[in-house]
């Protein structure tokens, strides 16, 4: 009877052990075809590419910067205006006539001899003014080029945001997978420890173990439950982060895959690519171009400017308020302005622009150094994750063998209950570490691809329509008028 019951216990223990091993493999290895409604890592990233608010906000910022180009072009475009005015005017007019003789005659006749009259008029009129700047010291030309450099810098910043969203999305996806597997492992661990506690209590009844062994088994179960609840809380946090980045609740997530096939084979080649292609570097160099052009715009204030102006005016009742009077004028004038000295503000602006150019160049150097460090760090983390998986697999296999041996030895009294519990905990820790290493490898591969500037929807071949920022600039670059945006707002 005792032998049969012990045999049943052994079968139960083996069953729980096998289930725990399968749970660890669920993290990254697909063992069966995924259901039709399953979410893959790439489909989740495609969802984030479409709907993430941070990325859409960055795209909107690029469209805002696009409008700087037509604003700068307005400097050499013609300007026209119409002015109209109307009102009422009271005028009193006195015109003296003759010398002293006429004054005396006027006095004798009771008249002053002067012409006096009052008028109430309603002056009104319109004026059409046309002006065209012919030369402004190259300020408009350089302002347009400066605006275009700002647009290119904004596009690079948008690419940085895209990389961050894709990398954060991959991290959130793998965190949910990892925490789901950890919850499963810890739940299975509770079942195994519950079975161990039952066996210990049975052995205590027959006098094979002491009350201390039972208490140790009970403490292990209580600790396992506490760790299970903590794992559940961590999973909920990861699911909330997933919802924030991806825009949907995580359901039926498929195993993730590493991007190592897309990475350069050597770190040196990765660094060379990153120093040229990384959006942070390209944004910094576009900002240098914009700062250099800002210096030229400021220097244009010292150059002469040339413009022509035409004006047509038609006025009524405007001559001394006389009713019925009419005045028509038409004029065309050229204006040449040669600045000599304007208080020194333009010189201060030039010096300031040059200092900002130096600052932009230093920022470019800083970005290159930062990108280089990021590549080295991400490649190091990827290497560490790969090595951790190899050692983790070996650790799981060794821990499984050790646990089986400790259990057999405990049956013949060579091991205590504490030894069995410690071996079970060691196996659990090894499985959790393996799941974590599998997650770290995928996340590190995304970080490495992002560190060289190639983490994009195009590079990942996401099933999305790639956003083209150049289309909006093309639509507004030469637009002279219009209130609606290209998308009809």
CATH of residue 397's domain is 1.20.1600.10
Contact 279, 160 (CB under 8 A): yes
Specify if 276 maps to a domain: yes
Condensed to tens digits (0 to 9), the pLDDT of residues 263-303 reads: 998 999 999 999 999 999 999 999 999 999 999 999 999 99
- Give the residue from 273, 308, 270 showing the smallest Cα distance to 136: 308
H/E segment holding residue 484: none
Residue 324: inside a domain, yes or no?
no
Residue 199 lies in a domain: yes
E strand or H helix that includes residue 38: none
Tell me if residue 39 falls in helix, strand or coil.
Answer: strand
Residue 228 in domain: yes
Maximum pairwise Cα distance, the chain: 160
**What is the per-residue pLDDT for 44?**
93
Judge whether 168 lies within some domain.
yes
CA distances from 148 to 31, 64, 263, 305 (A): 52, 12, 32, 24
Cα separation of 360 and 317, whole Å?
A: 61
Please check whether residue 97 is in contact with residue 114, taking contact to mean a CB–CB distance below 8 angstroms: yes
The whole-number pLDDT of residue 23 equals: 39
Torsion angle of the four alpha carbons 185, 189, 190, 192, in this order, in degrees rounded to the nearest 10: 140
pLDDT at 112 over 60: no
Residue 321 lies in a domain: no
Q: Pick the closest to residue 402 from 427, 429, 431 (CA basis).
A: 427
Domain count, the chain: 1
> pLDDT of 46-64, one tens digit each?
999 988 999 999 999 999 9
User: Residue 311: inside a domain, yes or no?
Assistant: no
* Residue labelled with tokens 């080295």: 376
The reply to whether 132 falls in a domain is no
pTM: predicted TM-score of the whole model, two decimal places: 0.81
Range of the domain at 58: 2-66+138-303+344-476
């Amino acid at each position: 009877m005792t032998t049969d019951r012990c045999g049943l216990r052994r079968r139960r223990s083996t069953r729980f052990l096998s289930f725990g091993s399968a749970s660890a493999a669920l993290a990254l290895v697909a063992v069966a075809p995924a259901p039709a409604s399953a979410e893959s890592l790439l489909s989740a990233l495609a969802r984030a590419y479409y709907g993430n608010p941070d990325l859409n906000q960055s795209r909107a910022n690029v469209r805002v910067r696009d409008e700087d180009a037509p604003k700068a072009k307005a400097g050499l475009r013609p300007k026209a205006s119409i002015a109209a005015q109307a009102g009422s005017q009271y005028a009193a007019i006195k015109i003296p006539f003759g010398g002293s003789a006429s004054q005396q005659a006027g006095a004798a006749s009771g008249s002053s001899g002067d012409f006096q009259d009052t008028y109430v008029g309603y002056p009104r009129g319109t004026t059409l003014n046309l002006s065209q700047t012919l030369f402004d010291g190259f300020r408009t030309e350089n302002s347009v080029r400066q605006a275009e450099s700002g647009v290119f810098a904004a596009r690079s910043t948008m690419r940085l945001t895209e990389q961050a969203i894709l990398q954060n999305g991959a991290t959130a996806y793998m965190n949910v997978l990892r925490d789901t597997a950890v919850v499963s492992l810890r739940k299975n661990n509770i079942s195994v420890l519950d079975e161990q506690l039952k066996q210990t209590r049975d052995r205590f009844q027959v006098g094979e173990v002491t009350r201390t062994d039972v208490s140790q088994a009970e403490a292990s179960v209580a600790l396992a439950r506490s760790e299970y609840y903590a794992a559940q809380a961590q999973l909920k946090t990861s699911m909330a982060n997933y919802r924030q980045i991806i825009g949907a609740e995580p359901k039926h997530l498929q195993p993730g895959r590493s991007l190592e096939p897309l990475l350069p084979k050597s770190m040196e080649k990765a660094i060379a690519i990153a120093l040229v292609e990384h959006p942070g570097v390209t944004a910094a160099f576009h900002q240098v171009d914009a700062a250099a052009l800002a210096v030229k715009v400021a220097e244009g204030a010292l150059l002469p400017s040339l413009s022509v102006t035409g004006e047509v005016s038609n006025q009524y009742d405007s001559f001394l308020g006389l009713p019925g009077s009419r005045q028509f004028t038409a004029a065309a004038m050229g204006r040449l302005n040669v600045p000599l000295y304007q208080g020194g503000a333009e010189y201060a602006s030039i010096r300031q622009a040059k200092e900002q150019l130096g600052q932009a160049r230093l920022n470019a150097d800083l970005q290159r150094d930062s990108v280089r460090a990021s590549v080295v760090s991400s490649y190091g983390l990827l290497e560490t994750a790969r090595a951790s998986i190899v050692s983790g697999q070996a650790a799981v296999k060794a821990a499984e063998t050790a646990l089986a041996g400790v259990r057999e030895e405990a049956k013949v009294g060579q091991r205590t209950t504490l030894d069995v519990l410690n071996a079970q905990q060691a196996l659990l820790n090894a499985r959790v570490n393996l799941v974590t290493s599998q997650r770290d490898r995928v996340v590190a591969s995304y970080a490495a691809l992002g560190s060289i500037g190639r983490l994009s929807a195009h590079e990942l071949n996401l099933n999305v329509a790639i956003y083209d920022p150049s289309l909006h600039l093309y639509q507004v670059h030469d637009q002279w008028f219009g209130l609606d945006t290209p998308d009809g707002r």
